[in-house]
Structure 1
């Protein structure tokens, strides 16, 4: 079986995203994620809102999918970690969107779904 080329690296590299929806999580509209990609390896940093600082590490899993492990420290000093499976897409306005299904691994329980939209400089 031949793997299909992935659009994930091109659509994430050096891009910034803000939260569009995350009813069950801590990140919100004030949280900004900055992604870097090296081959199939993905890293990011994030902060803002209730998040003092956070990091993600993961890899590409398909043509438009990826998985991540994440950890953060909140403005209240809590340390949390989790994992997510994500999908990258482009909306009708041409902005890149991310959608996730995620779960806490440490520091909290449960999980949910979230979505991000690319921050475009004016």
Structure 2
């Protein structure tokens, strides 16, 4: 069975997102994520708030699901890395939403759930 990733590409490629909810995470108000998609490969950069610079790499795993590995350098000089599994959705206003379950792999412990909303163009 062939999986089509066109919805993920349409909803993520060259789009920016900000944090809607991330109670236990490092990204927050002021952190902006910029995604790129090529076929089922996903990459992004992010910065702002407590994040000086960060990168993500991952893949689409279904028509509306993704998995990512991320790492960042914080404003406190920490280097952190983690994983996430997420769902791409659409809110009532037609903006793309992202919801994740995530955890740390290096530099911190724990994990949580977070959500993000597309920034207006």
TM-score under structure 2 length normalisation: 0.97
Aligned to 2:81: 81
Which residues of structure 1 form unaligned runs of 5+? none
SS at match of 2:101: strand
Alpha-carbon distance, 1:29 to partner: 1.7
Deviations 1:18-65 (A, max 9, x none): 000000001002100000011110000000000000000000000100
Aligned to 2:4: 5
TM-score under structure 1 length normalisation: 0.96
Aligned to 1:48: 48
- State the alpha-carbon separation in 1 of the partners of residues 18 and 94 from structure 2: 15
Aligned to 1:61: 61
CA RMSD of aligned residues (A): 0.7
Aligned to 1:107: 107
Alpha-carbon distance, 1:9 to partner: 1.3
Count of residue correspondences: 120
Which residues of structure 2 form unaligned runs of 5+? none
SS at match of 2:68: strand
Deviations 1:57-82 (A, max 9, x none): 00000010010000000000000000
Runs (4+) of structure 1 moved beyond 4 Å?
none
